Structure 1
Amino acid sequence: MTRPAPTSTAPALVAVVVANAALAFGPLFVRLADTGPVAAAFWRMALAVPVLAMIAFATREPAAAAPSRRVWLFVALAGLAFAADLGTWHLGILHTTMANATLLGNSATFLFPLWGFLVTRAWPTRMQGVALLLAAAGAALLMGRSYQLDPKHLAGDLLCIVAGVLYALYFILMSDVRRALAPWPALVLSSLAALLPLLGYALVLGERIVPQHWTPLIALALVCQLLGQGCMIYALGRLSPLVIGLALLIQPVVAATIGWVQFGEALGTPDFVGIAMIAAALVLVRDTRRNAKEPPPANPVPEEMR
Structure 2
Amino acid sequence: MTKATERGGILAVVALIFANVALAFGPWFVRMADTGPVSAGFWRLTLALPILFVIAVQQREPLTGYRSAIWWLLALSGIAFALDIASWNFGIERTKLANSTLFGNMGSVIMVLYGFVISRAWPHRAELAAVALAIVGAAMLMGSSYELDVRNLIGDLFCLLAGMLYVVYLLSIRRIRSDLGSWSVLVWSTVFGIGPMLAIALLLGEPVWPTDWTPVLLLALVCQLLGQGAMVYAVSHFSPVVLGIALLSQPAIAAIIGWQAFGETLSLTDTIGMVAIGAALVLVRLPEARCAARRAARLAASPPAS
Structure 1: which 5+ runs fail to align?
1-5, 293-306
Distance in 2 separating the partners of 1:243 and 1:142: 26
Q: Is the helix fraction higher in 1 or 2?
A: 2
Distance in 1 separating the partners of 2:98 and 2:63: 43
Q: Output aligned runs, 1:227-246, within 5 Å.
A: 227-232=226-231
Distance in 1 separating the partners of 2:44 and 2:127: 35
Q: Displacement of 1:23 after TM fit?
A: 2.0
Partner of 2:299: none
Change (3 A) 1:123 1:255: farther
Is the CA contact (8 Å cut-off) linking 2:97 and 2:255 kept in structure 1? no
Partner of 1:90: 89
Q: Displacement of 1:159 after TM fit?
A: 2.0
- Output the amino acid matched with 1:44: R
1:221-256 alpha-carbon deviations (Å, 9 max, x no partner): 011111233345567889999997886554323312
Is the CA contact (8 Å cut-off) linking 1:21 and 1:254 kept in structure 2? yes
Q: Output aligned runs, 1:1-306, within 5 Å.
A: 8=5, 18-60=18-60, 66-129=65-128, 147=145, 149=147, 150-232=149-231, 249-262=248-261, 274=275, 277=279, 281=283, 284=286, 287=289, 289-290=291-292
Distance in 2 separating the partners of 1:174 and 1:237: 17
What CA RMSD, in Å, does the superposition of the two structures yield over aligned residues? 4.2
Is the CA contact (8 Å cut-off) linking 2:110 and 2:164 kept in structure 1? yes
Q: Displacement of 1:60 after TM fit?
A: 2.4
Change (3 A) 1:163 1:117: same
Is the CA contact (8 Å cut-off) linking 1:89 and 1:101 kept in structure 2? yes
Distance in 2 separating the partners of 1:246 and 1:119: 26
Distance in 2 separating the partners of 1:166 and 1:244: 21
Change (3 A) 1:238 1:74: farther
Q: Displacement of 1:161 after TM fit?
A: 2.3
Change (3 A) 1:277 1:33: same
Distance in 1 separating the partners of 2:286 and 2:182: 26
Distance in 1 separating the partners of 2:254 and 2:143: 14
Distance in 1 separating the partners of 2:142 and 2:90: 23
Q: Displacement of 1:112 after TM fit?
A: 1.5
Distance in 1 separating the partners of 2:293 and 2:121: 11
Q: Displacement of 1:49 after TM fit?
A: 0.8
TM-score (norm 1): 0.73
Distance in 2 separating the partners of 1:243 and 1:124: 21
- Output the amino acid matched with 1:76: A
- Output the amino acid matched with 1:55: I
Structure 2: which 5+ runs fail to align?
295-306
TM-score (norm 2): 0.73
Distance in 1 separating the partners of 2:229 and 2:144: 30
Distance in 2 separating the partners of 1:155 and 1:127: 30
Distance in 2 separating the partners of 1:206 and 1:267: 32
Tell me whether 31-40 or 168-177 shows the greater mean CA deviation. Answer: 168-177
Change (3 A) 1:171 1:215: same
- Output the amino acid matched with 2:191: L
Q: Displacement of 1:111 after TM fit?
A: 0.4
Q: Displacement of 1:196 after TM fit?
A: 0.9
1:10-40 alpha-carbon deviations (Å, 9 max, x no partner): 6598566654432221110000001111111
Distance in 2 separating the partners of 1:70 and 1:11: 36
Is the CA contact (8 Å cut-off) linking 2:38 and 2:201 kept in structure 1? yes
- Output the amino acid matched with 2:26: G
- Output the amino acid matched with 2:160: I
- Output the amino acid matched with 1:290: A
Is the CA contact (8 Å cut-off) linking 2:31 and 2:93 kept in structure 1? yes
Q: Displacement of 1:269 after TM fit?
A: 9.4
Partner of 2:297: none
SS in 2 for 1:60: coil
Is the CA contact (8 Å cut-off) linking 2:44 and 2:220 kept in structure 1? yes
Aligned length: 286
SS in 2 for 1:203: helix
- Output the amino acid matched with 2:289: D
1:251-272 alpha-carbon deviations (Å, 9 max, x no partner): 3233123335545667899959
